[in-house]
């Protein structure tokens, strides 16, 4: 009888351990899917969707999420018309899309209430873009435009004021300016690096709480 009881206890313990292991695997898979969803959203240029996979306190170490808020703040302060705003948003979206070329889940680890996901990433090196030549080119282009359109711009200024003149100017040169900036960003050098994403439960869902570039290697 004692042997039978011992056998039942051993079986129950084994089942419990197996169940716990299976649950951990399911949780790790769910967290991995969150990281993949986040990176896929960035590759699609959709920062609003990417934000759904993170906690409110999350700070992107790549600074990609800052592009959207910076562009929104810039457009609100400039108010240069619908065409300029659309061109600016298109540039921001395409720059975000190009940031991560490809990625691969490398490893996962579960410790207490945190799951860490290590990802190998191949992306653009935005941090080391040299804007010097671009600034010079855009300055020259703007000066030439102003000289060639001086009479028309002055007429708008006299009839409608400075804000209207600046809006007309930005509507004319915005397309060229954002096209050149997009070329600069999408043509940036490639770099390979690793990122570690730490996830926690937030309202019964795994969310990215923090991330850091844990290893970097220039390609």
pLDDT of residue 136 exceeding 60: yes
pLDDT of residue 199 exceeding 90: yes
pLDDT of residue 36 exceeding 90: yes
* Domain parsing of the chain, residue ranges: 2-59+100-129+188-218
Q: What is the CATH number of domain 2-59+100-129+188-218?
A: 3.10.450.50
Q: DSSP per residue over 80-140, as a string? A: --HHHHHHHHHHHHHHHHHHEEEEEEEEEEEETTEEEEEEEEEEE-GGG---HHHHHHHHH
pLDDT of residue 68 exceeding 90: no
Higher pLDDT, 38 or 24: 38
Tell me the residue length of the chain: 219
* Average pLDDT in the chain: 82
């Amino acid at each position: 009888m004692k042997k039978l009881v011992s056998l039942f206890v051993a079986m129950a313990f084994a089942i419990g351990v197996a169940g716990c292991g299976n649950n951990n695997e399911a949780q790790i898979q769910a967290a991995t899917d969150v990281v993949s969803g986040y990176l896929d959203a960035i590759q699609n240029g959709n920062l609003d969707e990417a934000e759904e996979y993170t906690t409110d306190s999350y700070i992107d170490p790549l600074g990609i999420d800052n592009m959207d808020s910076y562009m929104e703040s810039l457009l609100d302060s400039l108010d240069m018309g619908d065409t300029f705003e659309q061109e600016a948003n298109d540039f921001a979206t395409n720059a975000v899309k190009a940031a991560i070329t490809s990625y691969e889940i490398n490893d996962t680890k579960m410790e207490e209430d945190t799951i860490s996901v290590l990802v190998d990433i191949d992306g653009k090196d935005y941090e080391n873009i040299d804007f010097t030549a671009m600034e010079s080119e855009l300055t020259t282009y703007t000066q030439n435009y102003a000289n060639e359109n001086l009479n028309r711009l002055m007429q708008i200024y006299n009839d409608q004021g400075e804000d209207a003149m600046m809006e007309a100017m930005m509507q004319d040169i915005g397309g060229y300016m954002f096209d050149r900036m997009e070329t600069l960003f999408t043509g940036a050098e490639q770099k390979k690096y690793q990122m570690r994403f730490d996830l926690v439960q937030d309202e019964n869902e795994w969310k990215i709480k923090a991330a850091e570039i844990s290893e970097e290697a220039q390609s």
